[in-house]
């Protein structure tokens, strides 16, 4: 069985939000899809260990923010590689509260959806929440980010809790520019040939020449958390 065959399924990059009373949370997901058009029903797959899972389970509502290609790795890392059990992810984020009470981001968002859970499917590590759409808005007429774009162009990675996570083979070719370095916290790979556009690091910049205060664009870890591939 070649699990890389699964890489050929297309996905987007989304922030899924929910709330319990006044507490808000959100996480990154790539498995969101429309199930029916009449009535409009959507579904999302969420890891049972995530706080967002608990929030959707309790409140019965969830929001989906469809991110644009311009969304910085930092935003995706903020929602994707940190837990709402440790930080308030919405503290420094600009958002509005939607009809269902869930937070909806305004920046880097192409469209927002809100749904009320009508059914759940147990999928071992994950639960698929099936929800009837209660609101949908187009926020910005930009191109949505696909998972392939996040992976190939932006250099983003999947956390282990993602439904599409596949362990990667770490054997990479060595290059004269010092080679690639991997963040031990989130798995982001710094590629000297790509630089780090979010921090205005133009390619080619070897890892060793990055400024001392440079941090992982995905999870914010310092240079010392990186290991050579
Ligand atoms: Fe990182």
Distance 163 CA to ligand 1 centre (A): 19
Query: What does the pLDDT profile of the chain (229 residues) look like in tens digits?
Result: 998 898 889 999 999 999 999 999 999 999 999 999 999 999 999 999 999 999 999 999 999 999 999 999 889 999 998 899 999 999 999 999 999 999 999 899 999 999 999 999 999 999 999 999 999 999 999 999 999 888 887 778 888 888 888 776 544 444 468 899 999 888 899 999 889 988 888 888 999 999 999 999 988 889 999 999 9
Beta strands in 169-216 (DSSP E): 181-183, 189-190
Distance 38 CA to ligand 1 centre (A): 42
Are β-strands 126-138 and 95-97 bridged in parallel, bridged antiparallel, or unpaired? unpaired
Distance 169 CA to ligand 1 centre (A): 18
Distance 67 CA to ligand 1 centre (A): 20
Distance 156 CA to ligand 1 centre (A): 10
Q: What are phi and psi of 207, to 5 degrees?
A: -55, -45
Distance 117 CA to ligand 1 centre (A): 33
**CA distances from residue 132 to 40, 113, 117 in whole angstroms, order as listed:** 6, 10, 6
């Amino acid at each position: 069985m070649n699990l890389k065959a699964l890489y050929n399924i297309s996905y987007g990059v989304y922030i899924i939000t929910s709330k319990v009373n006044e507490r808000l949370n959100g996480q990154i997901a790539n498995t969101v899809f429309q199930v029916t058009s009449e009535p409009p029903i959507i579904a999302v797959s969420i890891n049972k260990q995530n706080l967002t899972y608990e929030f959707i389970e309790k409140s019965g509502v969830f929001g989906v923010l469809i991110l644009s290609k311009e969304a910085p790795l930092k935003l995706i890392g903020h929602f994707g590689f940190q837990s709402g059990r440790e930080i308030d992810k919405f503290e420094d984020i600009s958002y509005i509260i939607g009809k269902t009470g869930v937070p909806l981001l305004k920046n880097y968002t192409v469209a927002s959806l809100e749904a009320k859970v009508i059914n759940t499917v147990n999928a071992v590590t994950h639960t698929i929440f099936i929800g009837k759409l209660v609101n949908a808005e187009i926020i910005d007429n930009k191109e949505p980010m696909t998972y392939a774009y996040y992976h190939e162009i932006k250099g983003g990675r999947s956390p282990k809790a993602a439904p599409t996570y596949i362990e990667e083979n770490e054997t990479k070719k060595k290059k004269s520019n010092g080679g690639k370095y991997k963040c031990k916290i989130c798995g982001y790979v710094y590629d000297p040939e790509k630089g780090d556009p979010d921090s205005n690091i133009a390619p080619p910049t070897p890892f060793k020449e990055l400024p001392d205060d440079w941090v992982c664009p995905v999870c914010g870890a310092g240079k010392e958390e990186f290991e050579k591939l």
